[in-house]
Amino acid sequence: MEAKRLEDLYELMLTSRRFDEECTRLLGEGVHIPHYHSGVGQEALMVGSAAPLRTADTYIYTHRGYGQLLAKGVSLREIALDMWLKDGGTNHGRGSVMHVNRPDLGLPGREGVFGTRFGLAVGFALAHRLNAADNVVVCCYGEAAGARGPLYEAMNMAVLWQLPVLFLAENNGWSFTTPTQWMFPQGKMSNVWRGFDIPVEVIDGNDVESVYGHVADAIESMRAAPGPRVIEGMTYRLDPHIWWDDASYQSKTEIEAWRTRDPITFTESRLEQLGVPRARVEDTQRAVAAEVAATVQDALSTPDLTGHGC
């Protein structure tokens, strides 16, 4: 990948990371963050799967996917305002960070009970086809949603109707307190889809260049010849499931092993290999840190909503 593009992806990943770190710092200070789920460790899969898309392509995000939203064009300011239930975000305090949506950017939002996303993806793919557009749908999902029946119904429809849906399994090792291997055969979320005779790939979800490349190839193939595909990105949830979770069930050795494969530091080493000056990377780091701090501060100091309309 050319250095400029990787620098752009790095900046998005880093913004997502710094935002999580700022939230974690605030939690330590006793600040309440409603429905906060950290995405630390998964930034490469988030950014790499959304960045190759056009604005008109549909992307269905997951609940810790700040990097996904940023890469699809949502501002950090909107995410932060939604997070703290303030006006000025995308849902005006009504849906929290669980329902960030910008239909104009190809982000329809997400469901509250895992599983609706799959048929939703089929619906958008049908709409793209009826509109005679070669737009595609990327439907991200974690272990929890992937264990629900609607995925199996939607996958069948997508194959039956040859719809351009990329089902992107985010294998981060855990479904809250349940390890992935307790939920899916061989601990792989995608093995079962090989039976549908469609392209199924398992990729390194912590290498943003690899994610970007595989997703870009998949969506370009779907534009040319519609039909669903599956990509399972192997990554790891480095932080607890949700802010009040102590993650005591997660082994420290496992976490440390995955920390050595941190997508942020891995990308930094790649930038160095590509000859990007260290000083420029540090400039980006300073700029991102400043932007995140200022945006979060702005969101926190934005007045609370006072209206109570139905």
Partner 1 sequence: MPERTVLTALNDTLREEMRADPSILVLGETVWSGGAAGVTRDLIDEFGERVIETPVSENAIFQAALGLAIAGYRPIIEIYSADFLLAVANEVINDMAKWRAQQGRPAHLPITIRGPMGATGGLGPEHSQCVERYFYHAPGLEVVVPGSPATCAPLLAASIRSNEPTLFLEHRRLYPAALPVTGEEGPAQLGRGEIVRKGSEATVVAWGWMVSESLTAADRAAEQGLDLEVIDLQTVAPMDLELVVESLNRTGRLLTVEEAPKRGGIGGEIVASVSERLGRAIPMMRVGMEDCIHSYHPVIEAEMLPDSSDIEKAAYNLCNRGSLGRSEVGPLE
210, two tokens:
């690899």
According to CB under 8 A, which one of 4, 112, 178, 278 is a site residue for partner 1?
Answer: 112
Alpha carbon distances (Å) from 190 to 44, 65, 115, 145, 169: 19, 20, 16, 13, 7
Alpha-carbon span 137 to 84, nearest angstrom: 29
Alpha carbon distances (Å) from 152 to 43, 156, 193, 195: 27, 6, 9, 12
37, two tokens:
């789920």
Q: Which is nearer to partner 1, 94 or 278 (CB)?
A: 94
Q: Which is nearer to partner 1, 10 or 84 (CB)?
A: 84
Q: CB 277: neighbour CB atoms within 10 A? A: 10
Stretch in the footprint of partner 1 (CB under 8 A) among 44-52, 84-92, 182-190, 250-258: 84-92
According to CB under 8 A, which one of 7, 75, 93, 201 is a site residue for partner 1?
Answer: 93
246, two tokens:
């102590």
Alpha-carbon span 40 to 277, nearest angstrom: 25
Alpha-carbon span 62 to 171, nearest angstrom: 12
Q: Measured from the CB of residue 156, what is the shortest distance to partner 1 in angstroms?
A: 6
- What mask, x for binding partner 1 by CB under 8 A, covers residues 130 to 159? x------------------xx--xx-xx--
Strand (E) or helix (H) holding 168? strand 165-171
Q: Which is nearer to partner 1, 82 or 209 (CB)?
A: 82
Q: Which is nearer to partner 1, 41 or 164 (CB)?
A: 164
Of residues 194-213, which lie at the interface with partner 1 (CB under 8 A)? none
According to CB under 8 A, which one of 10, 61, 118, 236 is a site residue for partner 1?
Answer: 118
Residues in contact with partner 1 by CB under 8 A are 89-95, 98-99, 101, 103, 108-109, 111-113, 115-124, 126-128, 130, 149-150, 153-154, 156-157, 160
